[in-house]
A and B are shown apart, each in its own frame.
Chain A
Amino acid sequence: MLDPLPQESWSRRHANHLLQRAGFGGSPEEQEAFFRLGDEQGVEAAVDSLLETTEDWSSLPWTDWALGDTDPNGDFFDPEGNLSTDNTNPNRRGQNIRRREVMLWYFSNLKQGQPLAGKLLKFFVDHFGIDSAAIGQYYRYIGLFRYFEMLRKHAAGNVAGVDAPFESDERLVPEGHYGNFRTMANHVSWSIAMVRTLDLYESTSSSINENFGRELLELFTFGLGTDFTDDDDEYTEEDVGAAAEAFTGRKIYGFRFPNNDQSAPRGLPPSSVWQNANLQDRSPKTFYGNTTMPGGGDVVDGDDIIELIFNSIRCAKHLSWKLWRYFASPNPSKALIEALALRFRDTHDYEIRPFLKDIFLSEEFYDDAIMNTQIKDAGDLLTSLEKQLDAPNLSQDAIEDVMQQLGYEILFPPSIAGWPEPDGEGNTWLATGAMVFRMNVPSIWSHRNFDVFTTARTRTSMAGYPDVDWDRIAPRDLRAIENFPLLIETLTKRFMPHRTLRKSQIRTLYERYSSIAEQLDSLEAVKELVRLLLALPEYQMQ
């Protein structure tokens, strides 16, 4: 179980599988270089190259309005003092614009950051889903920036071994560092987005709101009981109640109604969370069979609850399963999850990257039933498509439009449980309208077909979007009709490596290609070919 992949098994297919699942794939040149790295210096060297935490956290700054430390309330960010409510005021930042700016920032992270960091950010945003409508409405999206930034830092890992403090509320959160799942759960519990989403700000010792306590157990850590955890102790309603009591008195520093916050410490940054000790239940509790902490002392507050949860094997199993499902496949064996859970909790103390290294090195990760059998979720689809085409980000309006049509609005998960997994039956990724759009969307790049957007605003925003470099995608010397076999091989290597098209598909593509090449010109034929290839069901797989 979890033995390393033998060096002699390493192949281009293995290399591409790893590139695609741990990131968003690579160009044919990157594919080849990555294969050679693993071939010449060993599989571990290839895996290590994906895990390196070299990213500079400040490389993707927030937009100006989110950086200020003054009250961001209202629709205007006015560094120049322009307070005109006119629509033409360039400083106008209504909620819709702020929302799109957050979304662009998110996708920039997926594409421009370290690929694994992007992949993990996408996972965390789903795992720790939030109600961004409330955050956006009341906290003008600053709360979302703070939240996503915190998740991003955990995704980026413990850069250069620095134990960075959780910026918003470092006074309150126990020691830990980015890239550790337990620390992240704690940071989440102190973040304005979660405190608002799951009503922690309303939960006090005299009036308990169970919302967060329940979801912390049900969604974020223990999970609802599954086959993987049926040997482990079930948690009870009493445990939910104890958790809810422990997390009381966490208040939002309300820049919107500052007069309500007379008891808050002075000088907090906007949208901070703080602990109102007077509203906190500090009585000793019993939680999941524990009446004392492992190091002695009573079970008192939320930090204690999180520590106890992460000491349990059940939590380790649930998180191991979710990570395996995300990176590998939805149906691992029970024994594999058990082995993974022990690694995650005991060997790695919930450090995410060392744990992922075990996964990426394991034989199991390269099983035939796993490679090439995952449906790209909407984030995977857009990001890897743009990478393959070497295309820049869409406009922020277009990103929102595309994500809405794909049924994946990053700021609006369908429920607090996040999005359904893109692993087969019943998931909303492939709602019929979304499937139609998946087949239409490639024409944005192939034909600058901006008709696929739903609003004139979006179409206008894309006017300056650059054309694809077709000479790079399909070199001119391959475009002669008699070179079609070579052309299609080149294109499938870029877009669908290790996927064999059926004969009937090749024939259909050839007929179309030659028809357009003969009657119009070969560049038009190339564009059509790319459009059709990217509309295939096979292209939805990774």
Chain B
Amino acid sequence: MNIKLNRREFVAKSVWGATASMSLPGFLQQTLFNLDAHAQSLPPEGDEGPIILLMELAGGNDTLNTLIPYTNGIYNGARPTIRLGEQHGILPLTDNDAPSVTGNDEVVALHPNLTAFNQLWLDGELGIINGVGYPNPNLSHFTSFDYWHSAEPNTIVKDGWVGRYLDNQCDGCGATTGIFMNRRPTLAFKSDQGLSPTVTFNSPDNFSWRDMPSVGREASLEQMYRKLIGLDHATDDGISATDDTLAYVQRAAHSAMISTASVRAALEASGDLLNPNWPDNNLANSLKTIAQLIKGRSETSIYYARQGGYDTHNNQILDVNPLTGRHFTLLETLNNSLGAFVDEMKAQGNWNRVVILTFSEFGRKVIQNGSRGTDHGAAETLFVMGGQVRGNEYYGLYPDLAADARVKRNSLDFNVDFRTVYRTLLQNWMGVPASAMPDIFPSQPANFDPLNFINSI
């Protein structure tokens, strides 16, 4: 177990232990919860530990037009309208060609909008993982995301990989160890044991008690709730001793009180961000909140953000100009938002604590379709960035674009199983021992050796 992950006091840890178990006698639960309520009033000690930011690109990012094999004849032939070349201001990674499955290095360039990515590459803080996927690729958004979230491809999924990681390694973490900036929860955070110490909210405005102060309401709504659910009560802990299911709901309410308080405390401690130049869009707003939580020394070690819209079946480009259209705009938003986040992390002095991983449920087909778009594919390219990333380097091999190398109707074949990327993050970055991997990843790929894309903190 990585001690850096768990820096909270024993009392707080015990609370989560109690939450996961329904069989503690009532008096003991009450003591623990009162202790925890007390712990909440201690000044936040913050955390110096490693942080993961999972950056989900939903809809299936066309990574062939993100990391572009612009000299490849097959690429250019398969995408007569939407291909990107030097005339479009692509950003060639001239210092370093990408090793390929074919044995001949692939000459590649970043999409012209990925200027921040390019700078990180030049600075040695961006690694590129090519050919990422899983066996028997599923081309449904729904199912493929299930697989990416559960890290159990080709099964009926039950829980998420982050959820299992926290079950396994985080007995006693604070209530906000994982934060997903979204409305809908992610399967990735789902635990199969008790309440996962994770929270999902789309904006801090929605993750609070909608108090309406007035005459007669001198006590805050939060104080009222705390009393009613037994969180502050001297003799009544509010947890049913006779009904396990009710006790579970009551603990969920305790967790809600505790996690809203800790998010608010971190946001208040944060104050203004140091980077004054943030774009104004949903993704940037999510990343801003995350940056504030980090600055405010939240106990959180896994952040999760999401950008939708990558399902570019049509109008991936507008008219005949590949420097227009949905994919162009999406990558612009991604680049500018992540770029601002990186600048902020550097200004905060937290860049060495953060690693960002971009991923999508699948890549797209090699061949463009009849609507100036591309259809669902299989293997994709992931980007990993951070102060401790071994950047300016490729991991995995660029897939073979040739027709007879494709799987599932013109999709790229994978050579790096995405589970090894997750494993690398947990083992090399979060410090999870290799012995824990069978529990966190019940189904493992044939080659499950960690990659070498990151140093430990």
Contact = CB atoms under 8 A, between A and B. Distances in A.
A281 interface: no
Given A439-B209, A532-B224, A426 B199 contact: no
Nearest to A432: B199
Interface stretch (B181-189, B385-393, B428-436): B181-189
A537 B183 contact: no
B41 interface: no
A416 to B, nearest CB: 7
A430 B216 contact: no
A129 to B, nearest CB: 9
Contacts of A449: 210, 212
A486 interface: no
Interface string B121-150: 000000000000000000011110010000
B216 A520 contact: yes
A25 to B, nearest CB: 17
Given A131-B140, A541-B246, A433 B207 contact: yes
B183 A404 contact: yes
B201 A433 contact: yes
Interface string B189-217: 11111111011111100111110101111
Contact of A509 (B216, B228, B250): B228
Contact of B256 (A199, A414, A425, A439): A439
A480 interface: no
Contacts of B193: 425-426
Given A424-B245, A432-B195, A508 B228 contact: yes
Contacts of A436: 201, 207-209, 256, 260
Given A416-B143, A417-B156, A454 B175 contact: no
Nearest to B21: A425
A363 interface: no
B253 interface: yes
Contacts of B255: 432, 435
Interface stretch (A41-49, A305-313, A405-413): A405-413
Contacts of B219: 512
Interface in A125-151: 131, 133-134
Given A374-B245, A436-B256, A505 B191 contact: no
A430 B143 CA distance: 23
A415 B142 contact: yes
Contacts of A437: 206
Contacts of B212: 443, 447, 449
Contacts of A454: 183, 202-203, 206
Given A134-B142, A520-B216, A433 B195 contact: no
A536 B200 CA distance: 21
B184 A435 contact: no
B146 A525 contact: no
A452 interface: yes
Nearest to B234: A504
Contacts of A69: none
A536 B225 CA distance: 8
A518 B216 contact: yes
A454 B229 CA distance: 26
A115 B227 CA distance: 36
A424 B244 contact: yes
Interface string A478-522: 000000000000000000000000111100110010011111100
Contact of A519 (B215, B245, B246): B215
Contact of A375 (B156, B228, B249, B260): B249
A219 B141 contact: no
Contacts of A447: 212
B78 to A, nearest CB: 22
Interface in B225-261: 225, 227-230, 233, 235-236, 238, 243-246, 248-250, 252-253, 255-256, 259-260
Interface residues of B, number: 63
B190 A426 contact: yes
A430 B140 contact: no
A428 interface: yes
B253 A439 contact: yes
B156 A537 contact: no
Interface string A521-542: 0001100100010011110110
Nearest to A443: B210
A537 B201 contact: no
Contacts of B196: 426, 431
A415 B148 CA distance: 12
Contacts of A504: 227, 230, 233, 235-236, 238
A512 B224 contact: yes
Given A224-B156, A502-B236, A452 B229 contact: no
B159 interface: yes
B214 A520 contact: yes
Given A435-B252, A440-B209, A454-B206, A537 B246 contact: yes
B185 A407 contact: yes
A469 interface: no
Nearest to A517: B216
B211 to A, nearest CB: 10
B245 A373 contact: yes
A537 B142 contact: no
A424 B185 CA distance: 17
B246 A538 contact: yes
Q: Which of B175, B209, B245 has the most CB of A within 10 A?
A: B245
B92 to A, nearest CB: 35
B216 A515 contact: yes
B218 interface: yes
Contacts of A240: none
A449 B211 CA distance: 10
Contacts of B216: 515-520, 524-525
Contact of A528 (B143, B217, B236, B244): B217
Contacts of A219: 156
B198 A432 contact: yes
A433 B185 contact: yes
B146 to A, nearest CB: 5
Contact of A515 (B218, B229, B236, B253): B218
B274 interface: no
B249 A537 contact: yes
Nearest to A430: B252
Contacts of A199: 140
A424 B248 contact: yes
B22 to A, nearest CB: 8
A423 interface: yes
A504 B226 CA distance: 12
Nearest to A531: B221
Given A431-B200, A436-B260, A519-B216, A133 B253 contact: no
B351 to A, nearest CB: 28
B252 A426 contact: no
A428 B185 contact: yes
A358 interface: no
A434 interface: yes
B185 A426 contact: no
A451 interface: yes
Contacts of B195: 425-426, 430, 432
Given A404-B184, A519-B215, A537 B146 contact: no
29 contacts: A134-B140, A374-B245, A375-B248, A407-B184, A409-B184, A415-B142, A415-B157, A415-B187, A417-B156, A426-B195, A430-B195, A431-B189, A431-B199, A431-B200, A432-B199, A440-B209, A454-B202, A502-B236, A504-B227, A515-B217, A516-B214, A516-B215, A520-B215, A524-B214, A535-B228, A537-B229, A540-B249, A541-B245, A541-B249
Q: Which 8 A/B pairs are nearest by Cβ-Cβ distance? A: A516-B216, A519-B216, A435-B256, A131-B142, A432-B199, A430-B252, A504-B236, A431-B185
Interface of B: 22, 140-143, 146, 156-157, 159, 175, 183-185, 187, 189-196, 198-203, 206-210, 212, 214-219, 224-225, 227-230, 233, 235-236, 238, 243-246, 248-250, 252-253, 255-256, 259-260
Given A218-B156, A432-B198, 4 more contacts: A404-B184, A426-B193, A431-B199, A433-B207
